[in-house]
Amino acid sequence: MKGILKQLREGIWEQNPIMVLLLGMCATLATSTSVVNGLGMGISTTVVLICSNVVISLLRKVIPNQIRIASYVVIIAGFVSAVDMLLQAYLPDISNSLGIFIPLIVVNCIILARAEAYASQNGVLKSAIDGLGMGLGFTFTLLLMSIIREILGNGTLFSGLPFELDLTFGGKIQPAMLMIMPVGGFLTLGFIIAGKQKITMIQNNRKRKISKSEGGQS
């Protein structure tokens, strides 16, 4: 149980796929324009990630080493097609606004990277939890970005959901359109990663100080 929690925490914070591993940037930048889009993308990717990790982990002893990348890609593409069709059928609005980025989950480096680095070497349960942790980390970062970009760029929060908030005070404040344009994506992600690096630096400094003072005492 403790191991599971640790694995999840690693996916969400210490090994966060976007902020630390720098994987899956295209999808992150393109779909974080609003909370609904960001969540839609995050959850779709998480589902594909868990499914592909489980299947690849199950097949890890069957797949020949030389053609493993091609096999992984086919497995991933199968799940992506399934998610694509499900979204088209049940959530056509999200499917429309995410557009080409749903089929492009196939080439999201996070999924292939976890297949190669984790699922191909570990058991089914561990791989499933790894997929969940990484997926949650991805969704968390997307959510953070899309909250910032939607508030600043569109003046709303959760637009498209039943509890939509209007933060422009009836149109008195002009939202900065730039933030939902590509420029805003690059800027927001740059600042978020810088923030994460700053926090890591502070934590490391604190650790060093503690170990120093302990060293002094002994």
Partner 1 sequence: MSLTSLISISLGAILVENYVLVQFLGICPFLGVSKKTDTAVGMSFAVIFVMTLASAVTYLVNEYLLVLLNLEYMQTVVFILVIAVLVQLVEMFLQKAVPALYQALGIYLPLITTNCAVLGVALLNVVSEYTFIESVVNGFASAVGFSLALLLFSTIRERLEVSADIPKAFEGIPIALVSSALLAMSFMGFSGLKVF
The site for partner 1 (CB under 8 A) is made up of 22-23, 25-26, 29-30, 69-70, 73-74, 77-78, 80-81, 84-85, 100, 103-104, 106-109, 112, 178, 181-187, 189-191, 193-195, 197-198, 201
CB 81 within 8 A of CB 104: no
Smallest separation (angstroms) from partner 1 to the CB of 210: 21
Q: Which of residues 135 and 184 has its CB atom nearest to partner 1 in the complex? A: 184
CA distance 106 to 80: 6
Q: Which of residues 117 and 194 has its CB atom nearest to partner 1 in the complex? A: 194
| CA distances in angstroms from 3 to 7, 19, 76, 109, 129, listed in the order given | 6, 22, 27, 25, 10
Smallest separation (angstroms) from partner 1 to the CB of 109: 6
Q: Which of residues 199 and 210 has its CB atom nearest to partner 1 in the complex? A: 199
Smallest separation (angstroms) from partner 1 to the CB of 106: 5
Alpha helical stretches, state H, 155-176: none
Residue bearing tokens 């069709």? 85
Q: What is the number of alpha carbons within 13 Å of residue 19 lying toward its C-beta?
A: 30
Smallest separation (angstroms) from partner 1 to the CB of 91: 17
Smallest separation (angstroms) from partner 1 to the CB of 80: 6
Q: Which of residues 123 and 182 has its CB atom nearest to partner 1 in the complex? A: 182
CA distance 57 to 44: 20
Q: What is the 3-state secondary structure (H, E, C) of 50-68?
A: HHHHHHHHHCCCCCCCCCH
Q: Which of residues 22 and 125 has its CB atom nearest to partner 1 in the complex? A: 22
Q: Which of residues 8 and 143 has its CB atom nearest to partner 1 in the complex? A: 143
Smallest separation (angstroms) from partner 1 to the CB of 181: 7
CA distance 1 to 158: 34
- Burial (Cβ within 10 Å: 0-12, 13-18, ≥19) of residue 113: middle
